[in-house]
Amino acid sequence: MTDFKGSLILAIETSCDESSAAIVKGTAKGPKLLANIVASQVDWHEEFGGVVPEIASRQHLRAIDRIILRALKEAEVSLADLEAVAATQGPGLVGALLVGMAAAKALAFSLNIPFLGINHVAGHIYANFLVHEKIPTPFICLTVSGGHTDLIYFTDQRNYKILGRTRDDAAGEAFDKVARYLELGYPGGPAVEKMATNGADNINLPRALENSPDYDFSFSGLKTAVINYVHNKKQRGEEVDLADLAASFQQAVIDSLKIKVDKALANYQPQAMLLAGGVAANQKLRTDFQSLAANYDIPLFLPPLEYCTDNAAMIAAAAYYRRLRGESDPLSQEVEPTLKL
Ligand code: KG4
Ligand code: ZN
């Protein structure tokens, strides 16, 4: 698609606790981001130690008009310039998704332009295509977020095979639950990472499914191991070194991911490796995967930190590639809280 006025896409993301609106413009080199407004709800959920769905929906409702207007203003475009409107269809919290989908459909209907419902997990992966111009194929992508841990082999940008998924908790969910148990704060991932910077990986924790022949992950046993470790320490009247525990837990998550990705790299011999999702914002994970990619002499592609956690820019990027193929969805499309890739 060349650089023309009609290729402007507005995307809305309201699947969890960030209200976000973004605008991309089609260029000969791919989607160019003109605006990405993220209104975080972290302050509202913090005191509950996790996302409260009812509060999330209400905050999205309060923010939605404002973030769309701010995105248009920042991009210096008007509603009449838009070629299509997209929103996250799922997975996510039903009441939260409904706010973004209803807004996007209403705009598409009133402007008489195409509407697209985008898979949130696909959005995380497409964050890479927003910032990296040429990603060689085939590639392997590890998506690690609060709700997902998926290892996927892509023969090209559209065709893929899911190699493995988590059997229980997602990697980010493990960070959130452990942070909550250790009272480190919310959201859990950045809180654990911060605590871990002053600690050492010196506590023995499990790497689940290490020797199983598949590419699946499991993190609920690791969470239990952390809880048992604290119980045992307390029973013996010993202090828990929170920094060491955070560093050991963080490394156990990273190693569990690395073991399966390493095996997939050896067996599938891809030309590149991608990371996506909120947990990919973790610095230790980023450096460890950089070394893993170097072992196989392939490049590692990572979204910048702000496109790892939830944002509408990634939804706009995914929508852009669907529009390139002339695709759109009917306005009768419903939200899908459990939508899979
Ligand atoms: O992708 P995301 O924003 O939302 C979902 O789609 O789930 O991911 C949020 C998850 C949370 O579980 C959060 O604790 C985790 O990503 N996360 C991190 C870091 N930043 C966010 N986990 C580890 N280290 C981080 N720096
Ligand atoms: Zn997400």
Q: Whose CA is nearest to atom 7 of ligand 1?
A: 146
188 lines ligand 1 (CB under 6 A): yes
Same domain, 159 and 227: yes
The preferred substitution site among 178, 309, 315, 338 for testing ligand 1, maximizing ligand atoms within 8 Å of CB, is: 309
Closest-CA residue to 87 (of 69, 111, 66, 114): 114
Let me know if residue 340 belongs to a domain.
no
Q: Tell me, what's the pLDDT at 1?
A: 43
> In whole angstroms, how far apart are CA 78 and each of 9, 48, 57, 70, 212?
11, 39, 26, 11, 54
Which residue's CA is minimally distant from atom 19 of ligand 1? 189
149 & 245 share domain:
yes
Question: 312 alpha carbon to ligand 1 midpoint, in Å?
Answer: 15
Domain assignment present for residue 145? The answer is: yes
113 lies in the same domain as 188: no
Whether the CB of 282 sits within 6 Å of ligand 1: yes
Angle at 79 between CA 330 and CA 129, to 5 degrees: 70
In the prediction, which pLDDT does 205 show? 98
Same-domain status, 244 and 293: yes
Q: What is the pLDDT of residue 4?
A: 45
What pLDDT was estimated at residue 29? 85
Q: How far is the CA of 122 from the centre of ligand 2 (A)?
A: 10
Q: How far apart are CA 11 and CA 6, in angstroms?
A: 15
Contact yes or no for 253/174 (Cβ under 8 A): yes
- In a domain, residue 330? The reply is no
Q: Which of 120, 275, 279, 314 to mutate to test the pocket of ligand 1 (most atoms within 8 A of CB)?
A: 279
Instruction: Characterize the bridge pairing of strands 272-276 and 139-144.
Output: parallel
Residue nearest to atom 14 of ligand 1 (CA): 189
**Would you say residue 336 lies in a domain?**
no
Distance CA 67, CA 60 (A): 10
Looking at the fold, whether 154 and 106 belong to one and the same domain comes out as no
Q: What is the mean pLDDT of each run of 10 residues along the chain (341 residues)?
A: 65 97 93 96 88 96 98 97 97 98 98 98 96 95 96 95 97 96 94 98 96 96 98 97 98 98 98 98 98 98 96 97 95 97 88
Q: Is 124 exposed, middle or buried (0-12, 13-18, 19+ CB in 10 A)?
A: buried
Which of 18, 118, 142, 145 to probe ligand 1 with, by most ligand atoms within 8 A of CB? 145
Question: Could you give the 3-state DSSP secondary structure of residue 171?
Answer: helix
- How far, in Å, from the CA of 206 to the mean position of ligand 2? 26
How far is residue 130's CA from residue 124's CA, in Å, rounded to a whole number? Answer: 10
- What distance in angstroms lies between residue 97's CA and the mean position of ligand 1's atoms? 18
Residue 273: closest CA among 254, 295, 251: 295
The reply to whether 160 and 281 lie within a common domain is yes
Contact 316, 22 (CB under 8 A): yes
Residues 284 and 320 in one domain: no
* pLDDT of the residue at 46: 87
Alpha helices in the chain (DSSP H): 42-46, 53-75, 94-111, 120-131, 171-181, 188-196, 220-235, 242-268, 283-295, 312-324
Domain match, 147 and 266 both:
yes
89: left (phi > 0), else alpha (psi -120 to 50), else beta? Answer: alpha
Which amino acid is it at 259? I
Q: For residues 121 and 340, what is the distance between their CA atoms, to the nearest angstrom?
A: 8
What is the pLDDT at residue 310?
96
Is the beta carbon of 90 within 6 A of some atom in ligand 1? no
- Domain for residue 332, yes or no? no
In a domain, 338, yes or no: no
The whole domain housing 40 covers: 8-125+308-324
Classify residue 334: in a domain, yes or no. no
User: Do 147 and 66 sit in the same domain of this protein?
Assistant: no
Q: What backbone torsions phi and psi does residue 216 show, to the nearest 5 degrees?
A: -80, 160
The identity of residue 19, as a single letter, is S
Question: How many Å lie between the centroid of ligand 2 and the Cα of residue 308?
Answer: 8
pLDDT at 130: 94
Please work out whether the CB of residue 186 comes within 6 Å of at least one atom of ligand 1.
no
Q: Do 27 and 117 belong to one domain?
A: yes
Instruction: Collect residues with CB below 5 Å from ion ligand 2.
Output: 145, 310
pTM: 0.95
Q: What is the pLDDT of residue 5?
A: 42
Same domain, 120 and 155: no
Our count of domains for the chain comes to 2
Which ligand gives the minimal distance to the CA of 188?
1
Residue nearest to atom 13 of ligand 1 (CA): 189
Q: Is 132 a domain residue?
A: no
**CATH code for the domain of 268:** 3.30.420.40
For residues 187 and 145, membership in a common domain is answered with yes
Does any ligand 1 atom lie closer than 6 A to the CB of residue 201?
no
